[in-house]
A and B are shown apart, each in its own frame.
Chain A
Amino acid sequence: MSDSISSDEVKHVAHLARLRLTSEELVTFTDQLRAVLDHAKDVEALELDDVEPMSHPLPIENTMRKDIPNPMLKPSDFLPQAPAVEGGRFLVPKILGEEE
């Protein structure tokens, strides 16, 4: 049986999910995630080697529509909803380069 999640792992997972935790939150979330993962040990312990995983209730592969142009949203429908826009595009802070 593997060990339950550590606070270092919670910190790492928070980073992957682009979340920042305070030191108090790290303690609380670690305890709570551990409780859920401890409960999940019943599933972890099952021998299911010959069972096919089922990721979806419907046995569908790809759903394609006919290649016919349909009316769709125009940039003017959704750009005004964005936090920052410039020249008809979404504006984001600097991605690469040194920080200022």
Chain B
Amino acid sequence: MNSVTPEQYQSASEIADLVATREISALEILERHLNKIEEHEKDVHAFNLVTINEARAAAKETDKLISEGENVGPLAGVPVAIKDNLCTKGIPTTASSKILEGWNPPYDATVVRKLKEAGATIVGKTNLDEFAMGSSTENSAFGPTRNPHDLTCVPGGSSGGSAAAVAAGFAPIAIGSDTGGSIRQPAALCGVVGVKPTYGGVSRYGLLAFASSLDQVGPFATSVKDAAIVHEVIGGYDPLDSTSIKQAPNSFVNEIDQGVKKLKVGIISELMGGIDGITQEVIDQTNIAVSTLSNAGAQVEEVSLPAALYCLSAYYLIAPAEASSNLSRYDGVRYGLRVDGANLQEMNVNTRTEGFGDEVKRRIMLGTYALSAGYYDAYYGKALKVRRLLAENFAELYKDYDVLLSPTSPCTAFKLGAKVDDPMTMYVNDVCTIPSNLVGHPAMSIPFGSGKDGMPIGVQILAPPMKESVMYQVAHTLEKASQ
């Protein structure tokens, strides 16, 4: 197996401590990571762009501030990779689409601004499935990313570049976006921690919209504590995002060690064999996580989430419907690609036909169909009602349980090319992660053992809205047990 993962990861919190106390410079930390990128990026292809010059300038600035006795943030000198669907001022942002090639956003996404203010060094823009539509990062206009644990396998998606960058040791932290599992599933397949915060808990300002009622920005890290630290940095109310929650929680690290005694944990039976296609080894590993929590003092019971059976169908109507509307802005007028035509409509058609890849076209057409007269009630309307049922199912469960547990991905990382010609088979990869997006709840994946093929398996922890603290406590308990 051709693997490029490091023997050991250095945590973001350790780096920030060393840099802040001047044991090591931010620049030296950066150079070490740039060396790793230099060595293995040609095999992994985690990045669309490595911003070497900007990163060196930022690291030097951090070192200068520290030498002047200035207070630097909790991510001082920590290299961070940013998914290429988040705006970075003056730095190309492509969403891995030809339609945006060469576009330099005139502003930073709020999460990017907050990371910089916290002292982080932005090292580059990571590859993704075009406009975050996919589960393998094979739908990128710039070629696929490979899984650092086995270069013949996919890293998952759509934030596959971010997950791979962390797994390969290119950066201890990466940022992704999660619309149906696009942070958690690649985190599981690459053996790293990935968090989808509560909807509205992290600003979406500067995130290129895919499905606005589902999209959420979150961190990748090599430890639960690092993920919680980054979540604290990027979370909180943002007046620039009209769906931002005023009381968004942003304090998680202090309570991370509280353990799971007295907590009630529900295991979602539909995702433990109730739905076809979830492999036995993933279910077995989730059951080991269940015993671990039980041994640590939690009360664990199997529970039912009946609407979960219909989530895949509902999601693949709702997300394309929203996407078909959001992506109408790519018309060749204001930014990115224009392919000329005799009149406005012909120019629009030429631009979109040449600029979008197949999966994006598929979803735009699916969404347009689901919203069209005569089909709206049967498809989009029905899907919204399933969403309500699901929210009621969750609300009922959370009266009795603190968190829920399930696998993250139905299987370990698959080979490149294995599913790319069959969209429906690819969509099943999201079956465990979609429910949290539909209701806007937080959920995270942590690495927990591996499969027969030696590839990482992830366990998913789901929590009620704004209750990330409990989610991190459970994750931290499982993490300690698996080390």
Residues of A within 8 A of B (CB): 2, 5, 9-10, 13-14, 16-20, 29, 32-33, 35-37, 39-40, 42-44, 46, 48, 51-58, 60, 63, 65, 73, 77-78, 81-84, 90, 92-95, 99-100
Contact = CB atoms under 8 A, between A and B. Distances in A.
A83 B239 contact: no
Given A19-B356, A32-B362, A39-B316, A95 B343 contact: yes
A12 B381 CA distance: 21
12 contacts: A16-B372, A17-B361, A19-B356, A20-B350, A43-B310, A53-B387, A54-B384, A57-B199, A63-B243, A78-B334, A90-B334, A94-B344
Given A43-B317, A53-B384, A55-B213, 10 more contacts: A16-B368, A20-B353, A36-B316, A36-B427, A54-B387, A65-B239, A73-B106, A84-B338, A90-B333, A95-B344
B389 interface: yes
Given A46-B386, A55-B384, A78-B334, A17 B362 contact: no
B346 A33 contact: no
Main secondary structure of the interface of B (DSSP, over half): helix
A95 to B, nearest CB: 5
Nearest to B340: A93
Instruction: Output the residue of B106, B107, B350, B352 with the most chain A CB within 10 A.
Output: B106
Nearest to A90: B333
B305 to A, nearest CB: 16
A93 B335 contact: no
A10 B245 contact: no
Nearest to B425: A35
Contacts of A10: 365
Contact of A81 (B104, B309, B324, B346): B104
A13 B368 contact: yes
B361 A51 contact: no
Contacts of A84: 338
B32 interface: no
Contact of A92 (B243, B347, B423): B347
B287 interface: no
